[in-house]
Chain A
Amino acid sequence: MFCSQCGANNADTAAVCVQCGRNLQVATATTPLQSTGVVLPPGATVQNYLVFAILATVFCCLPAGIPAIIYAAQVNSKLQAGDLAGAQAASNNAKMWCLISLGLGLGSIVLYGVLIMAGVLSGIHQH
């Protein structure tokens, strides 16, 4: 089947276009995937949060970004396999780990600020 957005030739079982990621199943089927219970608007794709996962790994400096990247990979492998429900579940996990990473990163910044303040205050006290 050919993608209605970019014209790339896809396998008939493909859930999304391999070229542009457009959701092919809703575009072709009149009833949106009731078997899996996942309803995507036409043209939508399942977000894998890969950019945020990498950002979290490189700039939050914490191992929590790694599971986010692994779930991002899982989103794409499930999409390739045509498993929209599985892709959506993996997408939610990827998002969760991005947020955990962000929370830990912000938490350590706040903790660092508190430690600095404590250091400054004890310094003042000693003088």
Chain B
Amino acid sequence: MQKVNENRVLVVLLAASAVTMVMLGAFDPATSGGFPPCPVRYLTGWYCPGCGSLRAMHQLLHGNLRAAWAMNPLTVVLLPFLTYGLASFALFEIRGRGLPQPLLRAVWIRALCAAIILFGIARNLSLYPFDLLAPGAMLHL
């Protein structure tokens, strides 16, 4: 029963992600107002580690790697791993066996966590070169 519910949640999530991807391909979040702003940015005025990720996805869908990198380098770096992980998860649900995945050492996951937090802090600094990490800043180089 639990399994069925989990699968339903996954199917709904996958469908929602597919719709979001199509929307992201068609509309640029930088210029069209339909996409919700980052809640952290909205409430505090600070950039979070994910700020610019939707704009980066839009640029990637249009093949502009450089613009995507300028919007959110973290998203661009992590995307191949996320895609592989999601594909593995989907295959696991479908055929009961995912893609080969080495068991990541915990220290690597903690390092990634620290990197995400440091990235979030660094892009709020107005100090060169950290200010280049703010969404879109590298476009004006």
Contacts and interface: CB of A to CB of B under 8 A. Distances in A.
Interface residues of A, number: 36
Most B CB atoms within 10 A — which of A19, A61, A70? A61
Determine chain A's interface SS by DSSP, over half rule.
helix
B113 A73 contact: yes
Contact of A112 (B36, B72, B102, B116): B36
B103 interface: yes
B112 interface: yes
B141 interface: no
A51 interface: yes
Interface of A: 6, 16-21, 45, 48, 50-51, 54-55, 57-63, 66, 69-70, 72-74, 76-77, 79-80, 102, 104, 108-109, 112-113
Nearest to B79: A58
Interface string B7-47: 00000010000000000000000000000111111000000
B109 interface: yes
Contacts of B100: 6, 20
A75 B106 CA distance: 8
Given A51-B85, A108-B36, A112-B36, A61 B48 contact: yes
6 contacts: A18-B102, A58-B53, A59-B53, A61-B50, A62-B39, A76-B106
